[in-house]
Structure 1
Amino acid sequence: MRRFSDMKRHSAGKHSGPSQRQLRAGELTRHALVEVMRDHEILDPDLAGVSVTITQVRLSPDLRHAVCFVEPLGGGKASVVVDALNRHAKFLRGLLGRSIDMKFTPDLKFIHDETFNQASRMNALFEDPKVAQDIASAPDSDED
């Protein structure tokens, strides 16, 4: 007979990505944070007149820590905006706690979302005449 203490958790030792629970809670947190930021103005000169897109929220497995990926509209002064958001993270967490129905309101950490910059770099590569020439001269793999 196997004892409970002898059983290993199904996902123990495997890093297959976030669980469904983490993904659902992350989306719930993201939507609520968007509403909080839209409804409450943060009085900070670094955030004055700046629109921020929250692209993703990743939660820790215990749902107590959230990493929020943000992109300022236009991409300008991203580091200044991220620093300002991190200065006001506790204030935003307090407002967020009133908006979501979770056992714990996660601690917030804001990070600049670099995926937009990566996409721009890839587009620039594809527009390079040498790369465009290679793509145009590549044989179709469907003909095999």
Structure 2
Amino acid sequence: MAKARKGFSRADRIAEQIQRELAELVRTGLKDPRAGWITITAVQVTRDYSHAKVFFTVMDEKTREVSQEALEHSAGYLRSELGRSIKMFTTPQLHFVYDESVSRGMHMTSLINQVAREDAEKFGAGETADAPAETDAEDEDE
């Protein structure tokens, strides 16, 4: 008889816990002045839990490279603190990767807004190309 699968695998639960712990450590324990406003967006762990790919974003795009350098410089400290807070046989090595999805999403949103503005200018402020035409309720009653 097959076992029913749970919603998350162990690797997913560990990755989520690592993300929460790292977010807190970066917020409170990272003293590197190069580190800007860093947000940990996701973590992926390997099957053997020996490596973790940590995705992050920064508030100011200009600080992206120096923030990544600060994270990489602090990787040993973050890993040791992570080992204290998460009881695992092996604490994964941390590899920091800038998360492009947020900036891509913002770019897509700006493109959508631009097209919407152009449509509004082209078809009038109140109408859009795919909006149904208005009908009089009195015409339908007759």
The residue that corresponds to 2:76 in the other structure is 90
Q: CA RMSD in A?
A: 2.3
Identity of aligned pairs, percent?
Answer: 31
Question: What 5-or-longer segments of structure 2 have no aligned partner?
Answer: 1-7, 123-127, 133-142
Task: Answer with 1 or 2: which has the greater Rg.
Answer: 2
1:46 aligns with 2:38: no
Q: State the TM-score, normalizing by the size of structure 1.
A: 0.71
Residue pairs, 1:1-144, within 5 angstroms: 20-42=9-31, 44-47=32-35, 50-129=36-115, 133=119, 136-138=128-130
Question: What 5-or-longer segments of structure 1 have no aligned partner?
Answer: 1-18
Q: Secondary structure at the match of 2:53?
A: strand
The residue that corresponds to 1:13 in the other structure is none
Per-residue CA deviation, residues 15-60 of structure 1 (Å, 9 max, x unaligned), is xxxx712211100101111222233233x3312xx22110001111
Contact 2:30–2:74 at 8 Å: present in 1 too? no
Task: Tell me the number of residue pairs that the alignment of Structure 1 and Structure 2 aligns.
Answer: 118
Equivalent-residue separation in structure 2 for 1:31 and 1:128 (angstroms) = 36
Distance 1:129 1:34, change over 3 A: closer
Q: Which amino acid aligns with 2:12?
A: L
Richer in helix (by share): 2
Per-residue CA deviation, residues 81-131 of structure 1 (Å, 9 max, x unaligned), is 112211221111011110111221110011111111111111121122478
